[in-house]
Structures are given as structure tokens and as C-alpha cells.
Amino acid sequence: MPSGPRKIILIRAGRYEYAEVDLSGAVQIVGPNNTGKTTLINTLQFLYLDDRRHMDFGSYSAEQTRDFYFPGQFSYMLFECLGVDGLCVVGWRGQSKTTGGEPERFCYVGPYDETDFLDEKNQVREPRDVNARLALKQYRVLKS
């Protein structure tokens, strides 16, 4: 079984309230203009590039891109990946504007579990609650 990304999960990121895309097989992205196809494809930069200064979003500035993908502290971009030690998740979380607004990159061991991020009413959990749940999965912040 090849290693690499298995899923992309977007929670309140870009044009998506919630999106989960399975990458384990062939993927075709088809749809009318302005439905989020390029937004979805551009998310792969967040998996493969650890420094936002090296990402390219066309004519959009780094600040415009940040505000689009991470409008606040309840925005997540997650990548479930298969590595040599099994499944892990690499993610980015938006920050509140009062803390500077730069998204935080993190990872944890194990598969993506929706209940770590969404409560029983499908509302995004408070960041401290998400951190507490992920602490049990070897959660750590990744620096550029």
C-alpha cells in the first residue's frame, strides 16, 4: 500500500463549511466555475510546503490567502496521510485576529476522527477542546 495523503478535510476553510475528499483512488474534480475546484487543488500546497511564503495563489496576496482559507480560529485544513508508522494527520488551524491571525501547523498520530473537531450538533469545537482531544494522540505543533 503506497504512502502519502489519503484524505483532505476542510472545516470552515476556503469555500467549504465542511468537505472530506478521499484521495485513496483516482480523483476527478468537475464542476461549474466558482464552485471551489481550484480552492481544493490549492490546499495541497499546505501539505507539501511548510512555509506559506513559498506558496503561490496567483494574484492573491499572502494576507488575502490566509483570510480566505483561515477566516478564524474555527477553520481547519487537515490531511490524513499514510506513512511508514501508519496513519497520521497533518493540519493547519486558523487563529483569531487578536493573536496575529497566522495559522498554526500541527500533526498527530492516528486517523482523522470527525468527533475530535465537531461536537454532536456538528458545531466546531473550541480550540482548547480540540487540543485536549488531540493530546491523547501525540499532538504537536510544527514550526517552519
Per-residue pLDDT at 58: 83
pLDDT over 70 percentage in the chain: 97
43-52, 64-73, 107-116, range with the lowest pLDDT: 43-52
Task: Summarize pLDDT for 15-65 with one digit per residue, the tens.
Answer: 899 999 998 888 888 888 877 788 888 888 888 887 777 888 888 888 888
Distances (CA, A) of 50 to 22, 91, 92, 96, 121: 22, 11, 10, 20, 33
Give pTM, 2 decimals.
Answer: 0.89
Average pLDDT over every residue of 88-103: 85
The CB-side HSE value for 29 (13 A sphere, CA atoms) comes to 13
Per-residue pLDDT at 101: 72
Report whether pLDDT(73) > 80. yes
Residue 86's nearest CA partner among 117, 105, 116, 112 is: 112
pLDDT over 90 percentage in the chain: 53
